[in-house]
Amino acid sequence: MDSVPFQIHERLAKGGFELGRHGICRVLLKNNACYPWLVLVPEVDAETVELHGLSSADYAAVCESIRAASAFVAAHFDCTKVNVGAIGNVVRQLHVHVVGRVEDDPAWPGVVWGHSEKRPYAAAQVGPIRDAFLAATAR
Amino acid sequence: MDSVPFQIHERLAKGGFELGRHGICRVLLKNNACYPWLVLVPEVDAETVELHGLSSADYAAVCESIRAASAFVAAHFDCTKVNVGAIGNVVRQLHVHVVGRVEDDPAWPGVVWGHSEKRPYAAAQVGPIRDAFLAATAR
């Protein structure tokens, strides 16, 4: 039987830039310069849409990636607070948001999900963020 | 030096019912019958306001509690999706939301955070949820 190759859901892929991998996750930078916002997409089968549905090993790996991504966002972007969310009500493919927040961002103190303000990155901004992420999380 | 006893933040305590403990977390049921909504409050020092600021052992314990709470909510309330969020922009004490969602709940498909609809539980509803939580997560 042919296995179906893993693909990031079209809405996630179109909405961000792939920074690299961490553990079993693909890591995207959401294309919204209003917030430093990473999206972790575990490379698991399409039926696994809940974190608690992961195997113990995969769950631990994803939690470790959340931790690394959170620490990176907090340090690199000098945030007041990191917000972590696994929601998936609309895009069901398992994915986890790691969002750095500051007190003068457009959604503060509310959550970013469902908030409409968006500002695409300038092309030159993404490379340095990718480099910093890869350097910070290299193991 | 006297240590300060752990206390759940007043806003969290007033907004829910304590169900018990899981690992290092106190577990609250948010007093909003619109959604099956647990809040996990790790018993850590007040300076630790981020998940990634926990020690490795505490982080692993909290992740295990998130997993157990998520599995409980999904199974006991027959949810379409579980939403997990660590936000803390307003109440800074470290806490994690585990919320069961269904397609006809008042906030669907948006997130529950910042959504105004609230319906308190009837007193008789809380005991059975507490019993079920304790039975499901007994180890």
**Separation between Cα atoms, residue A116 and residue B125, nearest integer Å:** 37
- Within 8 A of B66 by CB-CB distance, chain A residues are 51-52
- Please state, in angstroms and as integers, the Cα–Cα distance from residue A33 to each residue in A71, A106, A119, A134, B116, following that order: 19, 11, 5, 19, 28
**Separation between Cα atoms, residue A135 and residue B42, nearest integer Å:** 31
Percent of chain B with pLDDT over 90: 91
Cα of B37 vs its chain's centroid, Å: 6
Residues in Cβ contact with B62 at an 8 Å cutoff, skipping those fewer than 6 apart: B23, B24, B25, B40, B42, B51, B54, B96
* pLDDT confidence tier of residue B1, bands split at 50, 70 and 90: low
Q: Residue A71: closest CA among chain B residues belongs to which residue?
A: B52
Q: Is A51 on the interface with B (CB under 8 A)?
A: yes
Tens digits of per-residue pLDDT, B114-139?
988 999 999 899 999 999 999 999 86
Q: Residue B111: closest CA among chain A residues belongs to which residue?
A: A113
Tens digits of per-residue pLDDT, A17-26?
999 999 999 9
Q: Which ipTM did the prediction report?
A: 0.96
Q: Which run of H or of E encompasses B132? A: helix B123-137
The confidence score (pLDDT) of residue A15 equals: 96
E strands, A23-79, where?
Answer: 25-30, 37-42
Tens digits of per-residue pLDDT, B30-72?
999 999 999 999 999 999 999 999 999 999 999 999 999 999 9
Q: What is the least distance, in Å, from the CA of B97 to any CA of chain A?
A: 9
Q: What is the least distance, in Å, from the CA of A102 to any CA of chain B?
A: 9
Instruction: Let me know: does A29 contact A17? Beta carbons within 8 Å.
Output: yes
The confidence score (pLDDT) of residue A1 equals: 53
Q: Would the pLDDT of B92 be above 60?
A: yes
The confidence score (pLDDT) of residue A102 equals: 98
Q: Would the pLDDT of B16 be above 80?
A: yes
**Separation between Cα atoms, residue A43 and residue A84, nearest integer Å:** 19
Task: Using CA atoms of B35, A88, A137, A14 in order, give the dihedral in degrees to the nearest 10.
Answer: -150
Q: Is A87 on the interface with B (CB under 8 A)?
A: yes
- Within 8 A of B108 by CB-CB distance, chain A residues are 89
Residue B78 half-sphere exposure toward CB, CA atoms < 13 A: 1
Tens digits of per-residue pLDDT, A111-125?
999 988 999 999 899
Q: Is A78 on the interface with B (CB under 8 A)?
A: no
The confidence score (pLDDT) of residue B4 equals: 76
Residues in Cβ contact with B126 at an 8 Å cutoff, skipping those fewer than 6 apart: B17, B29
Q: Is A47 on the interface with B (CB under 8 A)?
A: no
Query: For the residues A125-133, what does the mean pLDDT come to?
Result: 97
